[in-house]
Amino acid sequence: MTDTTRTIDPVDPAGSTGTTRVATPWEGLVTSALLGTERRTPPAEILAPGKEAPAALLDAAALHTVRRRAGLLPARAAARPEPAAHDGRARLPEAAGRRLRQLLADRSGPSGGGGRRGAAPDLTELLPQWLAAANEHGYRVPAAVLPALLDAARARTDLRPQALTFAGPRGLWLARLNPEWKFALRGASGGALLPDPRDGEAVRLLWEEGLFAERVALLAAVRAQDAEASRALLASTWSTERAEDRLMFLDSLRTGLSGADEPFLDRALSDRSRNVRHTAAELLSALPGSALAGRMAARAATCVSMDRTGGGQVITVEAPHECDADMQRDGVVPAPPAGRGERSWWLGQLVEAAPLDTWPARLGGRTPEEIVALPVLDDWADELHAAWCRAAVRQRDARWSLVLLGSPAASPAAGPGTSSLAERAKLLATLPPAERASWVASFIAAHGLSEAFQLLGVCAVPWAEPLGRAVVDALDIARDAGSYPWSFSGVMGLAERCLDPAEASRLELLTAAQDEPEDASPGAGGYWSEAFRRLVSTLRLRASMLAELDGLDGLNSPNGPDDPGRLAELTEPAAP
């Protein structure tokens, strides 16, 4: 009877993988069945008089099968995985958990593919906000949603940093078991994998033996704690790193760049790799106090001066005549791109790398406002202003940025700095959030929405009130002008995600279908009302989303706040 007590094994029901291969009665049956009873007579003991061999064989096999199944034993347990690290974050409020599952269930994107969007909110677009808010609260991920969350992050790289932070140690633990989620292991936010930055021994070990991505993440983590230690770490292996790795490590110094980084960057100026040299020079020029910035200031100053012949109210430019070895060492690229003169190319690089406070002193003590307003001889104005724009962005100089942006009401083409929306957006990003919002609000009030998309993209979420008002008013005007709402679908989408939810009640008025103006596009009114309804419902949804994460949901429950169960939930310790 030993052959009936088998270990359960779905691949090999008869358990023939055992080490001893004795011809059991069952194996006799199998052999006979495989070859056919005409070639191999079944074992004699199963044959019965008056019964054909195949039927007798099937009878015996049926008996054996049922007996085997009835006597199955469990298999031997394999080595158990190391349990996931404890996650001490606070438990997600129940309503917020429901919302997350709803957002994740919708993530496969709007059905119908590119059709009209209807009046219902686009839930997929709210997931990034939900994750960011949940992480701010410091909530722990509910384990059951982890697979859907990791799948979502796999499909959308923009979700990954927030999704992986939220997924926490349990998510990382799970990702190690499924090759489809290996992105989570190489991700920059593999925070849970990294040793404590203060644990010198563990840091050194990972730095010397880790994978490249782990080392980049480690460097960033150490730098956030102790910039000096991170430079020492980098210097310890610098000469043996590959050129492309040196470039990436150097690039990571961009975060938290300070004067203390100068000696290291100075050494990198003589690196073997041209890209490394160039990046080092760019970083040094973003430090107005650095020696390189000083050298660039001296070079730039010789090129730009007040014209003494014209009464001193005009800037004159004398572009460099050569790009010498010292300039090249300081990161000036000698060969211009196709279609550009080499002297103006060199000038641009010098001015861009010179500290902006060089100019008031150099140009007669004038303020940035006055300098930008000065005429420039010989058509050098565009070149010079463009270089100042790049300098303002690189040095994150809000004063110069604002001056170079000019008045928001003026036509973009007439502005002092640049008419490129992408560059204007970069200049805007250096302004404090409130100034940024009010500048863009005035811009929209003057020029409408058609060019505002990129500028809106750099504004802080939720939009400050003047900006929100300006956008809503401009949408209202566009509707009255009779165009279709999908001409503004980019801005509409942004508004759904960025408008302050408190605006919802004001917007409610706009959702009503209105009489169409005579020259309106046919049917536009209905589509507008639909678009506004979607905007309102999305704002409402965002408001409840955030309230749920604040744990406020329970206050409105039918049981009321005096229910002891509810109270326990409400008083759960908040995230650290």
Partner 1 sequence: MGRSNVVDMNQTGVRWTTEQVLALAPDEASRKAGNKLGTAGPWSEAGSGSAGAVWGLCKGSGGKPYQTIVDTTGPAYKCSCPSRKFPCKHALGLLLLWSADERSVPETAEEPGWAGEWLEGRRKRGEERPAGEAGAAGSGKPADPEAARRRAERRAARISAGATELEQRLTDLLHGGLASAEQSGYGLWEETAARMVDAQAPGLAGRVRELGAIPGSGAGWPVRLLEESALLHLLTTAWLGRDRLPEPLATTVRTRIGLPSPAGGPPVRDHWLVLAQDDSSDGKLVTRRIRLYGRDSGRSALLLAFGAAGRSPQLGLPVGLMIEAEITPHGGAGQLRADWGRQFGAPAPVPGPPPGGSTTAAIEAYGAALRADPWLDAWPVTLTDVIPVPAPGGGWQLADADGESALPLTDSALSRPGLWKLAALSGGGPVTVFGECGHRGFHPLAAWAEEIPGPVPLT
In the complex, minimum distance from the CB of residue 456 to partner 1, in angstroms, rounded to a whole number: 23
Stretch that binds partner 1, among 8-16, 153-161, 242-250, 414-422 (CB under 8 A): 8-16
Show the CA angle centred on residue 228, arms to residues 225 and 229, nearest 5°: 70
Contact between 45 and partner 1 per CB under 8 A: no
In the complex, minimum distance from the CB of residue 18 to partner 1, in angstroms, rounded to a whole number: 13
Stretch that binds partner 1, among 25-33, 310-318, 394-402, 450-458 (CB under 8 A): 25-33
User: Residue 502 gets which letter from DSSP?
Assistant: G
- Pair 485, 526: CB distance under 8 Å: no
Q: Which of 25, 54, 482, 493 binds partner 1 (CB under 8 A)?
A: 54
Compute how many residues bind partner 1; rule: CB under 8 A.
87
In the complex, minimum distance from the CB of residue 467 to partner 1, in angstroms, rounded to a whole number: 24
Closer to partner 1 by Cβ: residue 214 or 548: 548
Query: What's the sign of the alpha-carbon dihedral 32, 37, 40, 41?
Result: positive
In the complex, minimum distance from the CB of residue 22 to partner 1, in angstroms, rounded to a whole number: 16
Q: Which of 78, 335, 413, 422 binds partner 1 (CB under 8 A)?
A: 78
Q: Which of 1, 177, 414, 422 binds partner 1 (CB under 8 A)?
A: 177
Show the CA angle centred on residue 407, arms to residues 406 and 411, nearest 5°: 95
In the complex, minimum distance from the CB of residue 96 to partner 1, in angstroms, rounded to a whole number: 10
Instruction: Give the span between the Cα atoms of 304 and 376, in whole angstroms.
Output: 10
Closer to partner 1 by Cβ: residue 178 or 367: 178
Tell me which residues in 252-311 interact with partner 1 (CB under 8 A).
none
Residue 387's Cα: distance from chain center in Å? 29
Instruction: Give the span between the Cα atoms of 125 and 146, in whole angstroms.
Output: 19
Tell me which residues in 444-503 interact with partner 1 (CB under 8 A).
none
In the complex, minimum distance from the CB of residue 565 to partner 1, in angstroms, rounded to a whole number: 5
569 burial via Cβ count (<10 Å: 0-12, 13-18, 19+): middle
In the complex, minimum distance from the CB of residue 113 to partner 1, in angstroms, rounded to a whole number: 12
Contact between 147 and partner 1 per CB under 8 A: yes
Tell me which residues in 315-334 interact with partner 1 (CB under 8 A).
none
Tokens 């190690």 belong to residue: 176
Q: Which of 1, 34, 413, 422 binds partner 1 (CB under 8 A)?
A: 34
331-339's contacts with Cβ under 8 Å and 24+ in sequence apart are 331/269, 331/277, 331/278, 331/280, 331/281, 331/282, 331/284, 331/285, 331/292, 332/281, 333/278
Closer to partner 1 by Cβ: residue 66 or 361: 66
Tell me which residues in 93-132 interact with partner 1 (CB under 8 A).
95, 98-99, 101-102, 105-106, 108, 111, 118-121, 123
Instruction: Give the span between the Cα atoms of 474 and 468, in whole angstroms.
Output: 10
Closer to partner 1 by Cβ: residue 29 or 284: 29
Q: Which of 296, 533, 549, 551 binds partner 1 (CB under 8 A)?
A: 533
- Pair 193, 203: CB distance under 8 Å: no
Q: Which of 89, 160, 170, 223 binds partner 1 (CB under 8 A)?
A: 170
Q: Are strands 139-140 and 304-306 parallel, antiparallel or unpaired?
A: unpaired
User: Which residues face 316 on adjacent strands?
Assistant: 305
Instruction: Read off the tokens for 104.
Output: 């994740």
483 burial via Cβ count (<10 Å: 0-12, 13-18, 19+): middle
Contact between 29 and partner 1 per CB under 8 A: yes
Closer to partner 1 by Cβ: residue 266 or 563: 563
